[in-house]
Amino acid sequence: MMGFIARELRLSIRHGAESIAALLFFVIAGTLFALGAGPDPLVLSRIAPGVVWVTALLAALLPLERLFGPDFEDGTLDLLLLSGWPAYAIATAKTIVHWLTTGLPLLIIAGPLAVMLRLPGEKLPLLLLTLLPGTLIFSLLGTLAAALATGARRGAILMPLITLPLMIPSLIFGTAAATSLHPAAPLYMLFAMLLAALPLAPLGTGLALRAAAE
């Protein structure tokens, strides 16, 4: 399985444009919010956590179309399902690769973006703490949505329509934890959602991949 993850990472690096596009989108969209909201530091600092969360969510969607699409078209998906690994293990590996190539870079860039949006320094660790489970949830649910859209006509249109509603709860609790004076409860909820998604999303993704191959 580690060999498969390494191979997928190598492929992602060689098709680096998708990950780079997601990161550029994250930075540009965040900057546009800052330009649109005006230069008032109070306004910017108030909206910063929400802006970072929403733009990170949208940026994480961008590479999803290529997560299973090329594998479905070139026959690799059949090979993966006949590799002898359970389908949920393949889904888990794909989720890990998505997080390493998209979620983790978003998490790293979120800090400078939040500072640019005038988020007070003392609130930055909390924002990043919420984004850690947040980006993992994006990858888990995004992989599930990508698998559900695999093989469907107009899957690129279908995918955000599946993904965005699934991610609304994590967005609500994530921004609540990042902005609240008492962040413990929404943070616990966010981690509880991650704990629920960790086993369930790969199982659902595996079933969706089997259905796509049929």
Partner 1 sequence: MNNISFSLCQGGILLLRGANGAGKSSLLRALAGLTPLATGDLSWNNLPALTDREAHAARIGWLGHQDAVKPALTPAEQVPEAGLALVGLEKFAHLPSRFLSAGQKRRLALARVAVAEKPLWLLDEPTTGLDSASIQQFLGLCEAQRWRGGMIIASTHTPIELPDTQVLTL
Q: Is residue 5 part of the contact set for partner 1 (CB under 8 A)? A: no
- Cα angle value 195/130/42 (rounded, 5°): 160
Q: Is residue 4 part of the contact set for partner 1 (CB under 8 A)? A: no
Closest contact distance (angstroms) between CB of 78 and partner 1 is 5
d(CA 7, CA 97): 10
Q: Is residue 3 part of the contact set for partner 1 (CB under 8 A)? A: no
Query: Which one of 8-16, 114-122, 155-163, 193-201 is the stretch in contact with partner 1 (CB under 8 A)?
Result: 8-16
Query: Which one of 41-49, 79-87, 139-147, 169-177 is the stretch in contact with partner 1 (CB under 8 A)?
Result: 79-87
Q: Is residue 76 part of the contact set for partner 1 (CB under 8 A)? A: yes
**Residue 204 tokens, joined:** 């659902």
Instruction: Please state, as a whole number, how many other Cβ atoms lie within 10 Å of the Cβ of residue 120.
Output: 11
In sequence order, what are the residues at sequence separation of 6 or more whose Cβ sits closer than 8 angstroms to the Cβ of residue 35? none
Quick note: the x/- pattern for partner 1 over 33-72, rule CB under 8 A, is: ----------------------------------------
CA diameter of the chain? 58
Q: Write the Ramachandran bin of 154: left for phi over 0, alpha for psi from -120 to 50, otherwise beta.
A: left
Closest contact distance (angstroms) between CB of 91 and partner 1 is 14
Q: Which is nearer to partner 1, 16 or 199 (CB)?
A: 16
**Residues touching partner 1, count (CB under 8 A):** 19
Q: Which is nearer to partner 1, 14 or 182 (CB)?
A: 14
Q: What is the DSSP letter of 86?
A: -
Whether the Cβ atoms of residue 107 and residue 174 lie closer than 8 Å to each other: no
Alpha-carbon dihedral 27, 202, 93, 68, rounded to 10 degrees? -70
Closest contact distance (angstroms) between CB of 76 and partner 1 is 5
Closest contact distance (angstroms) between CB of 57 and partner 1 is 28
Out of 2, 82, 181, 184, name the contact with partner 1 by CB under 8 A.
Answer: 82
In sequence order, what are the residues at sequence separation of 6 or more whose Cβ sits closer than 8 angstroms to the Cβ of residue 209? 68, 77, 80, 81, 87, 90, 91, 147, 150
Q: What is the DSSP letter of 182?
A: S
Q: Is residue 75 part of the contact set for partner 1 (CB under 8 A)? A: yes
Range 194-213, binding partner 1 (CB under 8 A): 213
Contact residues: partner 1, CB under 8 A: 7, 10-11, 14-15, 73-76, 78-79, 81-86, 213-214
